[in-house]
A and B are shown apart, each in its own frame.
Chain A
Amino acid sequence: MDIPYVVQPRPDTGIYNAKAGIWLFLASEVMLFGGLFSAYVLLRVGADPGTWPHGWQNVTLGTINTLVLALSAVTTLLAWVACKVRQFGKFKFFHACTLLLALTFLCIKLFEYHDHLTHYEIQLTDGRIADGHMMENNPNEDYVLIDGRYVERETDLIDLRAQKDIREAEIKIPRAQIKDMESYGPWHNDYLALYFTLTGLHALHILAGGIVIGYLWGPGRKLWKTEPEHFTNRVEVSGLFWHFVDLVWIFLFPVLYLT
């Protein structure tokens, strides 16, 4: 049995079924990310003055990722246009570009996660705090080695944008002086919990979109030989999802990196 309206538009909606389906799916995605953005607004507005972190993210990497996703949105669209004008070679090229850009985005994101998870805030018995990236943490040794700095109060670590000249150096801390030690993971504070949740969910969407695009570029392209219009519609639907993922990042970047 043939599935109806995979190529021709339905008379009542004016669009083919898969396109109606993807827009309904994207509507549910808006509510999913909208809920998380609401949580962000709630926690940020409710935070005590001077306690919301600023400058905790690498803005350069965030900007590169923004441009990578924007470029991938363009290549996705051009892949679809190439299908429309029956230039399959161009489709393969542009979709390959999209895949590479998606991979680049994920690699940069993983690097950022690694950077956060190896960054430690160490409370010392004398009341000071050592903050920096862990270089050596061997349980058999009676010290830990970090590349960082000492601060007097925890509030000195909140607004890094306001601190012009942060000097870091190799610091050897005896374990006997350590009161508490915690990495900058999602458990560290509300901001990082939101950061990991929002960007993690977004990265999962990138991964899922990348798998679909990879399928269309690889084994799924057999459909092009028999039903090019049907294949083109599949490319369009995957492209709409990809643009949505780009749209989400357009708001994540300023919210988490710039403000």
Chain B
Amino acid sequence: MSDLKTARPHNAPSVSEPELSGHAVDFNSYLRRCVYVFVAVLCSVSLMLWASYLPQAHFDWPLKVKLILAVACGNAFLVAGFLMHLISEKKMIYTVLAFTVFFAAAMMWLTLYAMQDFPAGTTH
């Protein structure tokens, strides 16, 4: 979660009680954003459910899996981007994530690659 724009810098001394009301607008705008994200998540879950019940005769499982995972990725982007504030984070966090994505993707790829790489005559 990145720095929230409030009227007071983080390192400033604590504000007195009457001043607190000045922050109400910030909270409400955040609440509105959360509602939008939650509605979008609801829509994406509905879309995944719809895709999973598409008739088997026209949509086989590999196609359905791709469609559902694409929607799940969109859903994950919403959560990571807006709730974890990854759309506006510091460079250090992006660097950590870039390495993570690289190694996670390599692990997935190596797993699939290994499936095709049995020595001749191997049975499993």
Contacts and interface: CB of A to CB of B under 8 A. Distances in A.
Nearest to A251: B72
Contacts of A19: 93
Nearest to A252: B72
B20 interface: yes
| A contacts with B: majority SS | helix
A24 B92 CA distance: 10
Interface residues of B, number: 54
Contacts of A14: 90-92
Contacts of A113: none
Contact of B27 (A26, A85, A239): A85
A233 B23 CA distance: 18
Contacts of A77: 1, 30, 34, 83
Interface string A8-45: 10000111000110011011001100110111011001
Interface stretch (A68-76, A103-111, A128-136, A150-158): A68-76
Contact of B92 (A13, A86, A90, A239): A13
On chain A, which size bracket covers the interface? Answer: 35 or more
B90 A13 contact: yes
Contacts of A8: 11
B87 interface: no
B15 interface: yes
Interface in B59-80: 61, 64-65, 68-69, 71-72, 75-76, 79-80
B32 to A, nearest CB: 11
Contacts of B11: 7-8, 229
A121 interface: no
A14 B108 CA distance: 32
Say whether chain B's binding surface is mostly helix, strand, loop, or mixed.
helix
A217 to B, nearest CB: 18
Interface string B1-29: 10010100011001100001001101100
A162 interface: yes
B115 interface: yes
Contact of A87 (B27, B45, B71): B27
A24 B71 CA distance: 27
Interface stretch (A165-173, A188-196, A242-250): A242-250
A35 B61 contact: no
Nearest to A34: B104
Nearest to A84: B4
B116 to A, nearest CB: 10
Contacts of A31: 100, 103-104, 107
Contacts of B14: 86, 228
A240 interface: yes
24 contacts: A7-B10, A7-B11, A14-B92, A20-B92, A23-B97, A27-B96, A27-B100, A30-B100, A31-B107, A38-B108, A46-B115, A54-B61, A67-B45, A70-B38, A77-B1, A85-B23, A86-B20, A87-B27, A162-B56, A246-B83, A250-B76, A254-B48, A258-B52, A259-B68
Given A77-B30, A243-B79, 17 more contacts: A7-B10, A8-B11, A20-B92, A23-B97, A26-B100, A34-B104, A63-B45, A70-B79, A71-B38, A74-B38, A84-B23, A87-B20, A161-B56, A247-B80, A253-B72, A254-B52, A259-B64
Interface of A: 7-8, 13-15, 19-20, 23-24, 26-27, 30-31, 34-35, 37-39, 41-42, 45-46, 54, 59, 63, 66-67, 70-71, 73-74, 77-78, 80-82, 84-87, 90, 161-162, 228-229, 236, 239-240, 243-244, 246-247, 250-251, 253-255, 258-259
